[in-house]
């Protein structure tokens, strides 16, 4: 083990097992010198060796170490892909929502979650903007990902299609499903996607879909194998089809809102007793939106009392600028007539 760790001499498992090669020669030359301490170390070393995962490059891919590296990369990416999907570090109340979404699957599905599902599950998580739909869906995707060889994670579809077009998203989708290292827009369209997904057990996440054409262009006409999961997030419930199972993600309750705010504003589970009332007032202005709680909590971290009081006054009149920019996305997605109706209704509440 010392030779292996120091990298001064290559020792194979067969050398140790059968006492061959340089290791066997050295062992026999010095066998008479072995004392109890060496014997003890030898037993420990052998245990380490037996407990370790040892692969000799000469026995894989005819000794081509480049192919061995590629094989390792593929294996590691397959087993740990979910670790590369970013999630906020301070999740609050997410486990409750995950359990509820998982329960949307039929009871037969949940009895055999690690083998075969009774049918393909198409689940839509919908709700207003900045309410953490993507976080919830990503958590579920990571929970399920190690059960699927064929999977695709498409984040922020609405903005990506707006900036790069549907063909780009389709080609990325195909690349994900086929595990290609790169993607080309020369390979796009729904037909290749249908062929790839034909009778396969797949895991697909379509984030922030805002038009039914997006669904038609990414999963339309696909015949997924039983046990497949397709998770969709959107803001407009009108996009849903009757066969989809839906879950509305609502605002955080006051308890969770105060907890999330406290983690960012005070790095604790609750505000200091002297700031409890003020913190509750500030939290009440956020409407239970996780994004607003994180932004405002981060802004108030370390600030003095006068700034906290001033912030409370401002928030009662208008949301924080960063929150406004995020929420405006929902407004901009409305048709002109709908925008005018929204403004009329907003004025009604303002004057009352």
Residues 236-266 have pLDDT tens digits of 888 777 788 999 999 999 999 999 999 999 9
pLDDT on residue 131: 87
Q: Is pLDDT at 107 greater than 60 in this prediction?
A: no
Measured distance CA(51)–CA(218) in Å, rounded? 45
- Non-local (6+) Cβ contacts of 231 within 8 A are 123, 125, 137, 140, 141, 204, 205, 206
Measured distance CA(275)–CA(267) in Å, rounded? 14
If you average pLDDT over every residue of the chain, what do you get? 78
Q: Where are the beta strands (DSSP E) in the chain?
A: 121-126, 150-154, 202-209, 229-234, 245-248
pLDDT on residue 1: 56
pTM for the predicted model, two decimal places: 0.67
Confidence of residue 88 (pLDDT cuts 50, 70, 90): low
DSSP annotation of 81: G
Confidence of residue 344 (pLDDT cuts 50, 70, 90): confident
Ranges of each domain in the chain: 2-54, 85-248, 254-343
pLDDT on residue 195: 94
Write out the two tokens for 212: 């039914």
pLDDT on residue 20: 73
pLDDT tens readout for residues 19-72 = 677 767 776 777 666 666 665 666 566 556 545 555 666 656 666 666 766 666
Q: Output helix, strand, coil percentages for the chain, rounded to the nearest 5.
A: 60, 10, 30
Dmax (CA) for the chain in angstroms is 97
CA 222, 227, 230: angle at the middle one, nearest 5?
Answer: 55
In angstroms and rounded to an integer, the radius of gyration of the C-alpha atoms of the chain is 28
Tell whether the torsion through CA atoms of 154, 156, 160 and 166 is positive or negative. Answer: positive
Q: Is pLDDT at 75 greater than 70 in this prediction?
A: no
Number of Cβ atoms within 10 Å of the Cβ of 188: 21
Measured distance CA(325)–CA(231) in Å, rounded? 26
Number of Cβ atoms within 10 Å of the Cβ of 3: 14
Name the architecture of domain 85-248. Answer: 3-Layer(aba) Sandwich (3.40)
| Pick from 115-124, 209-218, 300-309: least confident | 115-124
DSSP annotation of 149: S
In this structure, the chain runs to a length of 352
Report which secondary-structure segment, H or E, holds 65: helix 65-80
- Non-local (6+) Cβ contacts of 2 within 8 A are 45
């Amino acid at each position: 083990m010392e030779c292996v760790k120091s990298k001064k001499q290559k020792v194979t498992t067969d050398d140790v097992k059968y006492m061959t090669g340089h290791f066997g020669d050295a062992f026999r030359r010095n066998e008479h010198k072995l004392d109890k301490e060496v014997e003890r170390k030898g037993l420990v070393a052998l245990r380490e060796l037996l407990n370790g995962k040892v692969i000799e490059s000469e026995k894989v891919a005819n000794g081509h170490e480049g192919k061995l590296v590629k094989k390792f990369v593929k294996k590691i990416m397959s087993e740990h892909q979910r670790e590369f999907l970013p999630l906020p570090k301070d999740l609050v109340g997410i486990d409750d929502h995950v359990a509820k979404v998982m329960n949307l699957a039929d009871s037969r599905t949940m009895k055999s979650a690690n083998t075969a599902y009774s049918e393909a599950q198409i689940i839509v998580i919908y709700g207003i903007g900045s309410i953490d739909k993507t976080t919830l869906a990503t958590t579920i995707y990571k929970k399920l990902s190690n059960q699927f060889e064929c999977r695709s994670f498409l984040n922020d579809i609405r903005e990506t299609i707006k900036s790069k077009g549907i063909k780009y998203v389709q080609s990325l989708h195909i690349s994900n499903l086929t595990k290609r290292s790169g993607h080309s827009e020369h390979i796009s369209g729904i037909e290749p996607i249908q062929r790839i997904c034909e009778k396969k057990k797949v895991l697909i996440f379509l984030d922030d879909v805002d038009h039914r054409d997006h669904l038609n262009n990414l999963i339309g006409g696909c015949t997924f194998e039983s046990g497949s999961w397709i998770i969709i997030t959107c803001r407009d419930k009108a996009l849903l089809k009757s066969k989809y199972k839906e879950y509305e993600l609502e605002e955080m309750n006051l308890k969770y809102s105060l907890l999330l705010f406290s983690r960012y504003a005070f790095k604790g589970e609750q505000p200091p007793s002297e700031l409890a009332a003020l913190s509750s007032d500030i939290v009440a202005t956020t409407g239970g939106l996780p994004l607003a709680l994180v932004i405002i909590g981060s802004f108030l971290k370390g600030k003095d009392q006068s700034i906290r009081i001033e912030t409370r006054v401002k928030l009662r009149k208008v949301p924080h600028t960063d929150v406004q920019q995020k929420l405006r996305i929902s407004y901009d997605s409305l048709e002109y007539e709908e925008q005018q109706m929204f403004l009329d209704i907003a004025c009604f509440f303002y004057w009352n």
